[in-house]
Structure 1
Amino acid sequence: MTDGTWITLISLGVTVLFMFGVPVFLVIAYWVLGSSFVLGMTLDNIGAALSDVFTDGFALLAMPLFILTGDLINRSGIARRLSDFAYACLGWLRGGLAMASLGACGLFAAISGSNSATTATIGSMLHPEMTKGGYDARFSAATAAAGGTVGIIIPPSIIFIVYGFLMNLPISDLFVAGIIPGTLMVGGMMLTCWVICMVNGWGHLIPLQMSRVGKTAVGAWLGFFAIGLVLWGIYTGKFSPTEAAGVTVGFCLIVGLVSLPLYRLMGLQGQDRPVAEKRYREMLVVEGFSLTEIPSITMRSAQITGILAPLIAISVVMQQILSLLGAQEVIGEFVRGMGGYHAVLFTSMAIVFVSGMILESLPVTIILAPILAPIAHSVGVEPVHFAVIFLVGASIGFITPPYGLNLYVASGVTGVPYFRLLRYIVAYLGALLAVWMIVALTPELSTMLLPTR
């Protein structure tokens, strides 16, 4: 048999493995190993490529640090404070609590940079509150899943780090470029949420009290400070994204360790929740965590990093093999054959959308970005703008079946079966697609905040 036949058989085999639930990393690894043997490539080449990724990829150091940041702010109680602030601002609207959960997703994303962490944290915190407040359990879970999509768009973003590393773009520019599109995504989902809740009459209204807004804003000052610290440092060039991640981890670590003794000193533990919450707001501290909890927090972050890092490395090898096979030329010629600026742009968006339905954003980015980005640039699409277009599309893949990672996460933390989420996820999907189109057709949304050079 020819090499092409063997590789086709290998591809069909790993596709079957993927359909049976084999992890994406193993699916790609099996394909890489099999194709390497067929093409006569040695295992030394694979080892060298993997080594180069981890020894030369300084920017990738920010990834585990931002993952750790998300776990620290969750365990310290900062995430709860941000949620309280969002509800104080939006609770007077029909569906205010659901809208607040979307706002909390945006605020949490501005510190953690992870879609799954955003969905899991906000979903586990606010889903019980929403169901108690009269919201449909399926809608509540779907809202958490949809809100998590902004986790990789609002800076800092783990996937922006990967994209910048692959395409040799300034990660700080990518972070800044994601601010407005990410905010539009949250706004579009909030509008959709409000319409659904108005139609169904969901949500108990609370009066808009500026004193309540002020108290919760002051109570969430640690979260706002962490967000501002990251954005200020990157935007002004005071530190790189990797350094920003280290600074944020240090800040959250200090806050968590200092807050626990204060929390215990005030006697909040063991009290009824209303009494504890009142003193909690007055003293402006979060629960915090102890030194003995740090290993478990770090271990959880390390587990997530241990999943992502090998996937990045093996996907880089996959790129090399696809290049040898001429896949980039085939896809490139197909996209170029579509015509000019808008035809290439929309074709690229369609490819990203379909790929996101069956693959996680990381392999989609690693495999397709090096193919599509140069083609888009050749027809006049600004590289940073295309990065935002590409990654907004990849983020939508988190709620598109059959893969839909956020749907699985939301199902896991809320107990709502996966397929029951789909009824209400369609509306959020439509809102995100509309925002995606607006972002694609309006380059200024991605570039207007970029620092002048």
Structure 2
Amino acid sequence: MSDSLWITLISLGATGVFLLGVPVLLVIGIWVIGMSLLLGLPLDNLGSALSDVFTDGFALLAMPLFILTGDLINQSGIARRMSDFAYSCLGWLRGGLAMAAIGACGLFAAISGSNSATTATIGSMLHPEMKKGGYDERFSAATAAAGGTLGIIIPPSIIFIVYGFLMNLPISELFVAGIIPGLLMGLAMMAFCWVICSINGWGHLIRLQPSRVFKTAIGSWLGFFAIGIVLWGIYTGKFSPTEAAAVTVAFCVVVGFVSLPLHKMMGSPSEDRPPSERSYGEMLVVRGFSPIDIPKITLRSAQITGILAPLIAISVVMQQILSVMGAEDAIGGFVRSMGGYYPVLFTAMAIVFVTGMVLESLPTTIIMAPILAPIAASIGVDPIQFAVIFLVGASIGFITPPYGLNLYVAAGVTGVSYFRILRYIYPYILALVAVWILVALVPSLSTMLLPNR
């Protein structure tokens, strides 16, 4: 048989096992091994990639540290306090609890940098509350999935770290560039929440009480402090992203250890009580955790890292194979053939969108960024702006079927089936696509906070 027929059969076989539910890491691995054998490439290239990606990339060490940070703030109770603050600010609006879920996703993302952790944490906390508040459970699950997209745009962001590592861009500048687009994404999704909940009459309204806002803000002070450490350290150049991640982990560990005995001294008050029933002393102290909880928390973070790290490495090999096959030249030639600035830019965005429908953001970034970023630079797109454009598009892929990782995560933590969530996810996709186009058309949204630009 000809090589082209073998390539088709191997690709169809990989697609088939993907449709059967085989994890994407194994799907890509099957394709990589099959193509390596067909092209006569040494299989030890796969093993070397698994080690070289992380031993040669100091910046990527931030990834497991930020994942650990997310688990620590969830275990300590900080994430719950931040959700309470978001609800106290937005609960007076129709759909306020759903809007608060998105706001809480943004606050959680500003510490953890992970989309799946954001969806799982906020979804598991607020989905039961939304059901009790009269929201449709499908809408509630879709809101958690959509809010999780903020996890890779609002800094710190794991995928920004990977992109900066691949394209040799300053990760600190990428983090800053994601702030305004991330806020716009959150506001656009909140606007959709208000519209759909107003139409359906969902949600129990609470009065906007400055005292409640103030009390929950006090209860969230540790979360705000952690966010401040990350943004201040990176923006001022005091920390590299990796160092900022390590400092934040240390801060969360100290908070957890110190808070536990203080929480017990107060009689271990329930974190589920409304803020109005808690004293200011109780609001200042979170539940914390003990040293014996650290192995369990670390294991959970290591499991997520153990999924992402091999995926990055094997995607690098996949990108190398595509380069040998000439796919980079073919895709690059197609995009360049579009002609002017906007046709080229929007064609690149369309490729990112379609790729995100079938691949996770890491392989999408590793495979497509080295192809599309140089083309964007050649037509005059600022590299930092294109990084934001690329990754906002990749974040939308988390809620676009058939892959849509956040949809599976939301289904897992809420008990609502994947296909039932889809009914309410499409308006969120439209809202995010509108922001994506705006970010592409207005470069200053990505660069205005950067010095010397």
Q: TM-score, normalised by structure 2?
A: 0.97
Please tell me whether residue 337 in structure 1 is matched to residue 337 in structure 2: yes
Determine if contact 2:218/2:283 at 8 Å carries over to the other structure: no
* Greater shift in the superposed pair: 267-276 or 361-370: 267-276
1:173 corresponds in structure 2 to: 173
Instruction: Determine if contact 1:269/1:276 at 8 Å carries over to the other structure.
Output: no
Paired residue for 2:74?
Answer: 74
Structure 2 CA distance for partners of 1:161 and 1:270, relative to 1, 3 Å: closer
* Deviations 1:394-427, CA, capped at 9 Å, x for gaps: 1111111111111111111111111111111111
Equivalence map 1:316-395=2 (5 Å):
316-395=316-395
Task: Tell me if structure 2 keeps the 8 A contact 1:384–1:447.
Answer: yes
How big is the shift at 1:110?
0.3
SS, match of residue 238 in structure 2: coil
Alignment of 1:4-83 (within 5 A): 4-83=4-83
TM superposition shift of 1:308? 0.5
In 2, Cα distance between the equivalents of 1:132 and 1:425?
A: 21
How far off its partner does 1:252 sit? 0.5
Flag the 1:361–1:275 CA change in 2: closer, same or farther, 3 A: closer
Q: Structure 1 residue 106 and structure 2 residue 106: aligned?
A: yes
Distance in 1 of aligned mates of 2:402 and 2:336: 29
What one-letter code is carried by the residue in structure 1 that aligns with 2:16? V
Once the 2 structures are TM-superposed, how far is the Cα of residue 198 of structure 1 from its aligned partner?
1.0
AA aligned to 1:278 is R
Show the counterpart of 1:118: 118
* Equivalences for residues 284-295 of structure 1 within 5 A: 284-295=284-295
Q: Which moved more, 1:425-434 or 1:298-307?
A: 425-434
The verdict on how the C-alpha distance between 1:271 and 1:255 changes in structure 2, with shifts beyond 3 A counting, is: closer
Q: Deviations over 1:296-333 (max 9, x none)?
A: 10000000000000111111111111111110000000
1:4, CA displacement in angstroms?
A: 3.1
Q: Which residue number corresponds to residue 297 of structure 1?
A: 297
Check if 1:310 corresponds to 2:310. Answer: yes
Residues 235-282 of structure 1 deviation map (CA, whole Å, 9 limit, x = unaligned): 000010000000000001110111011101111257994699514764
Once structures 1 and 2 are overlaid, which stretch shifts more, 236-245 or 3-12? 3-12
* 1:363 shift after superposition: 1.0
Q: Does the residue aligned with 1:309 lie in a helix, a strand or coil?
A: helix
Taking the aligned partners of 1:203 and 1:175, their CA distance within structure 2 comes to 34
C-alpha contact (below 8 Å) 2:216/2:283 kept by paired residues: no
How far the C-alpha of 1:6 sits from its partner, in A, is 2.3
Contact 2:266-2:282 within 8 A present in 1 as well: no
Residue 292 of structure 2 aligns to which amino acid in structure 1? T
| Equivalences, count | 453
Residues in 2 aligned to 1:389 and 1:429: alpha-carbon distance in whole angstroms: 15
In 2 relative to 1, CA 267–352 (structure 1 residues): closer, same or farther, beyond 3 Å?
Answer: same
Trace 1:88-103 onto structure 2 (pairs within 5 A).
Answer: 88-103=88-103
SS of structure 1 residue aligned to 2:278: helix
Cα displacement (A) at 1:24:
1.1
Please show how residues 129-148 of structure 1 align to structure 2 within 5 Å. 129-148=129-148
Q: Structure 1 residue 163 and structure 2 residue 163: aligned?
A: yes
Give the match's secondary structure for 2:81. helix
- C-alpha spacing 1:335/1:399, structure 2 compared with 1 (3 Å): same
RMSD: 1.6
Please tell me whether the aligned partners of residues 76 and 287 of structure 1 are also in contact (alpha carbons under 8 angstroms). yes
Deviations, residues 183-235 of structure 1 (Å, cap 9, x unaligned): 00000000110011111111111111111111111110000000011000000
Q: CA 1:100–1:284 in 2, change beyond 3 Å: closer, same or farther?
A: same
2:35, 2:95 → 1: CA distance?
Answer: 52
* C-alpha displacement of 1:147: 0.6
Aligned to 2:205: 205
Q: 1:286 to 1:179 in 2, by over 3 A?
A: same
Residues 27, 271 of structure 1: alpha-carbon distance in 2 compared, 3 angstrom cutoff: closer
Q: Residues of 1 paired with 2:4 and 2:357: CA distance?
A: 26
Distance 2:306 2:155 in 1: 22
- Alignment correspondent of 2:422: 422
Query: Does the Cα contact within 8 Å between 2:109 and 2:155 map onto a contact in 1?
Result: yes
Q: What CA distance in whole angstroms lies between the structure 2 residues aligned with 1:253 and 1:416?
A: 34
- The verdict on how the C-alpha distance between 1:426 and 1:281 changes in structure 2, with shifts beyond 3 A counting, is farther
Letter in 1 for 2:145: A
Q: Distance in 2 between matches of 1:195 and 1:89?
A: 18
Find the residue that maps to 2:398 and give its secondary structure. Answer: helix
Corresponding letter in the other structure for 2:171: I
- Shift in Å, 1:153: 0.3
Name the residue aligned to 1:446: 446
Question: Identity of paired residues, percent?
Answer: 79
Q: Which amino acid aligns with 2:178?
A: G
The answer (yes or no) to whether the contact 2:360–2:405 under 8 Å persists in 1 is yes
CA contact (8 A) 1:50 1:317 kept: no
8 A contact 1:215–1:281 mirrored in 2: no
Could you tell me how far apart the structure 2 residues matched to 1:398 and 1:387 are?
17
User: Where does the alignment leave 5 or more consecutive residues of structure 1 unmatched?
Assistant: none
Distance 1:316 1:26, change over 3 A: same
- How far, CA to CA, are the matches of 1:406 and 1:281 in structure 2? 37
CA distance in 1 between partners of 2:362 and 2:336 (Å): 24
